[in-house]
Amino acid sequence: MKLWLASLTDLFNRPGLLLEFLLVLALLGLAGLLAQALRRRAAGGRGALPVGGVQRLAFPLIAILLLTACGFLAHHFGSRFRLVNVAVQLMVALAAVRMAVFAVRRAFPQALWVAGFERTLATLIWAGVALDLLGLLPELIEWLDGFAFHVGRAHLTLWSVLQGIASV
């Protein structure tokens, strides 16, 4: 945890952090506008994107494209944008969540639980990816493993109970 706090302190002491953060926000905003324009075009019948879950991939894919191009240009000119790399990884996670939810919706078209499942799945995957990117996931797992109890002869930890719940 101390190592993570030290790296976080180093990150916030970087001189170009605010500019990089604003750049990421601007690129995400541009990706949102472009995705919205594609959705409007598809709704108008001009066929820019197929209808359905594929339209939901427009934002993360456009964001990945823009952020990756920005990272490439920064690297080409001798800079390194850490927040841009983190944003790319989070957008990949968002695209994965949206693809998984699309597959679940196609597999269970009449199920009412899918709408609630979508938000829960998205929250869990995003939280897991964010914790992993920040380097906190191994420490959280270790902390959860520290809460142990016995049920009969079985030795359980809070982490093993959460894994069991997630697998059901």
Backbone angles phi, psi at 115, to 5 degrees: -65, -45
pLDDT at 104: 80
CA triplet 88, 89, 90: central angle to 5 degrees? Answer: 90
pLDDT at 6: 63
pLDDT at 147: 85
For the entire predicted model, the pTM comes to: 0.71
161 CB neighbour count, 10 Å cutoff: 14
Which among 53, 22, 59, 54 has a CA at the least distance from the CA of 37?
A: 59
Tokens 């493993």: give the residue: 145
CA-CA-CA-CA torsion for 82, 129, 133, 94, nearest 10 degrees? 0
> What is the chain's length?
168
d(C-alpha 59, C-alpha 39), whole Å: 10
Taking the chain (168 residues) in consecutive chunks of 10 residues, what is each chunk's mean pLDDT? 61 74 93 89 62 77 95 85 86 86 81 78 82 83 86 85 79
Cβ neighbours of residue 106 closer than 8 Å, sequence gap 6 or more: 53
Contact indicator for 98, 58 with CB cutoff of 8 Å: no
